[in-house]
């Protein structure tokens, strides 16, 4: 009888410990929206890159980013004048929409294509604005404070679809974004 009582007590103890509730954080309760700004793009390239992300559940989200380039004085800034980038993210953490993620994206972007020709006496620059569409993949990580402030670091690469012989073949996506979850 004592053995049966001891086994029953041990069984109920194991079950009660196994059913401990996972800790919930205030930034995870009823907060499905995030707005962000890419601080790295603004400081390094003079690009205003803002995005909105909707959290579908604890493992996935979708959103859209918009980028506007302000300074077109050097070759790197001509790389992108404007872009709209819809994306889908899959998170691989036990916490709500944070930690390591993989992102698939599409990017409609405009850039300045410079072609230089030598006519015998002078070098002639023919500049043309091009609009193209690319698809790609990014990886990154997202960190969230208890008050809902977010920081994310991400880097990705996409390939242009279509285009002509003078088109750029690949586009990059990346940055260090600061934002807020609400």
pLDDT tens-place string over residues 141-173: 999 998 999 999 999 999 999 877 777 889 999
Residue 6, domain member (yes or no): no
Q: What CATH number is attached to the domain comprising 152?
A: 2.40.160.20
Q: pTM for the complete prediction?
A: 0.79
> What's the CA dihedral at 138, 140, 144, 150 to 10 degrees?
-50
Decide if pLDDT at 118 tops 90: no
Q: Note whether 54 and 62 are within 8 A (CB).
A: yes
Residue 10 lies in a domain: no
Domain span at 124: 25-181
Q: Residue 171: inside a domain, yes or no?
A: yes
Residue 164 is assigned to a structural domain of this protein = yes
Number of structural domains the chain divides into: 1
In a domain, 81, yes or no: yes
Does 105 map to a domain? yes
State phi, psi for 24 to the nearest 5 degrees.
-105, 145
- Any domain includes 38: yes
């Amino acid at each position: 009888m004592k053995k049966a009582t001891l086994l029953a007590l041990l069984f109920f103890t194991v079950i009660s410990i196994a059913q401990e509730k996972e800790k919930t954080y205030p930034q995870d309760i009823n907060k499905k929206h995030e707005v962000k700004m890419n601080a790295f793009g603004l400081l390094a390239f003079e690009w205003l890159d803002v995005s909105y992300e909707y959290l579908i559940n604890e493992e996935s989200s979708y959103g859209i980013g918009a980028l506007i380039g302000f300074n077109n004085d050097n070759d790197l800034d001509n790389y992108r004048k404007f872009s709209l980038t819809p994306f889908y993210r899959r998170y691989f953490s036990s916490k709500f929409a944070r930690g390591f993620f993989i992102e698939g994206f599409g990017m409609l972007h405009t850039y300045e294509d410079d072609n230089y020709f030598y006519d015998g006496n002078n070098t002639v620059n023919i500049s043309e604005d091009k609009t193209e569409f690319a698809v790609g993949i990014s990886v990154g990580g997202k960190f969230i404070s208890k008050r809902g402030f977010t920081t994310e670091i991400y880097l990705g690469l996409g390939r242009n679809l279509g285009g002509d012989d003078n088109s750029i073949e690949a586009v990059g996506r990346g940055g260090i974004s600061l934002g807020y979850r609400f």
